[in-house]
Each structure stands twice: as C-alpha cells, then as structure tokens.
C-alpha cells in the first residue's frame, strides 16, 4: 500500500492547462505551480521507487496531447497515471474515481461536508464549531512532503495575521501517514492556524468526502459552509480574500457615514 501511496502523490498533483478565456495572470501562476509540482513529484518518485518509475512517468507525460495536461473546452483535465504505473488494483482505481466524482460535486455554491478531526494537542475540532466563530474559512489539505503546499504557507500566514480579527481562519488537514511526520512538519513550518490530522494518506473518510485526489487541495467557504472558491493558486486566493474583507470594510464605512 505504501508503494501505491507514493504513486498517488505523483498522480494526483493537480497539473492543468486552462482554456484561452482565462487571464494571462492566471495562466502564468498556474505554470509556476506546475513547474514546482513536476520537480517535487519527480524527486518523490526517484527517492521512493527508482529511476525506472521516473522514466515511465516522463514517458506518460510525453504521450499527452500537451505536456502534462490536456486542455478541455470548459477548464482542465488532470494527468492520470492509472494503467501506466504498475501495482494499482481495480479496487483502488474505483476508489480514486469516487474521490474525483466527489471533487466534481463540490463546486462554488454547494455546501461542504461536516467533519470532526483531532489536532496535535489531542483536542477534537468540528468544522461547524469553527464556522460559528468565523465568516471565511480556508480548508487546506496538505502533507509534510508536499512542496507546493508548504510554499503557500507564508502568504497564508500573512492573510491570517491581517484578517483573523475580521473572521478569517485556516483549517489545515494533514494527510501524512504518521503522527510523527505531521508533528515534525507542523513544527518546522510553524503552523499557527487550526491544524488537524487524518493521517490516512489519500484514503481517509474526510479526504474522500472532499475529493482529495491531489494536493494542495483547498476550499474557501463562508460561515454557512458554502463554497466561495476552490483550488485557487495562492496568489489568486490572496486576491479573493483581500477583496472580500476590503469590500466588507468599505461597506461598513459607508454605513457609518450614512448613519451620521
């Protein structure tokens, strides 16, 4: 199963090419993210499986209609290594398809599933409890070995420091396979937000409900649990959060002026 999980780390990286209607800024951001993901995933394969697996991975990418991804008319399609790397059973393929189906169902306007998980301090945290106190929450699936996940932390720290008092919070969910990996990664990167662990790699109940077939995987939700945005590159996420709170501040100022 360990071998399969390493394959999935490569397979579910979220590599994509968007259609022409997207902005240049979005495309450039996605390209930077893609390059980071490719490098980190090749390193993971080489360190855990070997040179042959690296060759198979690169060959499969070369066989796509465009490098690492194929553009579609309405968005993007993730690279799939099903059937390319050995050792993936029919049952496991079915399980991954379920995750992908759940991912497609969770779109802006839909409510995310409720969950309760335990933090490093041993305390159980329910999403509903967080939403009683916060009006904008980022649910962020990550792992200590995920380079792109960690790369987003500095920006998330800045956003949280600036807007926590206004109702912004991050709920991180680790899919590491051991408490030690999770704890060490959390300490190394000095995670200040709500930090929960499922610790079942891709196979946890929460990860499945949320369609986590690649990471970083994120959902920005409001106080009702409705999805505002999902899977945004960190620079676009920053713009959305800043705009949301700046707009709220502007409206509040207008009301105060009108009241006078």
Contact by Cβ (8 Å): 134, 168:
yes
Pairwise CA distance, residues 92 & 136, whole Å: 35
So what's the pLDDT on residue 87? 57
Can you list the pairs that 162-165 forms with residues at least 24 positions away whose Cβ atoms lie under 8 Å?
163/136, 163/241, 163/245
Q: Which of 17, 40, 32 is nearest to 146 (CA)?
A: 40
Q: From residue 44, give the alpha-carbon distance in Å to each of 15, 50, 54, 63, 167.
A: 16, 9, 9, 21, 37
Q: Which of 258, 114, 249, 118 is nearest to 195 (CA)?
A: 118
Helix axis angle for 24-48 and 234-259, nearest 10°, is 140
Instruction: Report residues of the chain scoring pLDDT below 50.
Output: 1-37, 43-49, 57, 60-86, 254-255
β-strand pairing of 136-142 with 227-230 = unpaired
Question: At the topology level of CATH, where does 101-260 sit?
Answer: Glutaredoxin (3.40.30)
What's the predicted TM-score (pTM) here? 0.67
Length of the chain: 260
Q: Which of 181, 212, 209 is nearest to 197 (CA)?
A: 181
So what's the pLDDT on residue 95? 73
Q: What is the pLDDT of residues 47-68, one digit of tens each?
A: 444 555 555 545 544 444 333 3
Q: Which residues on neighbouring strands pair with residue 79, listed in sequence order? A: none
So what's the pLDDT on residue 88? 62
So what's the pLDDT on residue 251? 59
So what's the pLDDT on residue 38? 52
Domain segments of the chain as ranges: 1-82, 101-260
So what's the pLDDT on residue 102? 96
Q: Is the peptide bond before 216 cis (omega within 30 degrees of 0)?
A: yes
């Amino acid at each position: 199963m360990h071998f399969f999980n390493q394959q999935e780390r490569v397979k579910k990286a979220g590599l994509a090419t968007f259609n022409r209607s997207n902005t240049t800024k979005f495309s450039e951001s996605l390209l930077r993210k893609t390059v980071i993901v490719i490098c980190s995933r090749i390193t993971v394969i080489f360190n855990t499986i070997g040179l042959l697996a690296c060759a198979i991975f690169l060959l499969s990418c070369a066989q796509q209609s465009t490098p690492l991804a194929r553009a579609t008319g309405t968005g993007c399609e993730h690279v799939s290594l099903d059937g390319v790397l050995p050792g993936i059973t029919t049952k496991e393929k079915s399980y991954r398809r379920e995750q992908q189906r759940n991912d497609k169902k969770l779109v802006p306007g839909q409510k995310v599933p409720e969950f309760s998980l335990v933090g490093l301090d041993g305390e159980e945290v329910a999403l509903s409890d967080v939403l009683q106190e916060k009006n904008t929450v980022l649910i962020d699936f990550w792992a200590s070995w995920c380079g792109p996940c960690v790369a987003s932390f500095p920006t998330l720290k800045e956003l949280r420091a600036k807007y926590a008092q206004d109702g912004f919070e991050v709920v991180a969910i680790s899919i590491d396979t051991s408490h030690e990996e999770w704890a060490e990664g959390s300490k190394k990167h000095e995670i200040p937000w709500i930090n929960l662990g499922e610790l079942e790699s891709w196979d946890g109940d929460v990860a499945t409900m949320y369609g986590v077939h690649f990471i970083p995987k994120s959902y920005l939700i409001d106080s009702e649990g409705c999805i505002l945005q999902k899977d945004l590159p960190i620079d676009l996420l920053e713009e959305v959060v800043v705009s949301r709170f700046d707009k709220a501040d502007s409206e509040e100022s207008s009301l105060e002026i009108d009241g006078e």
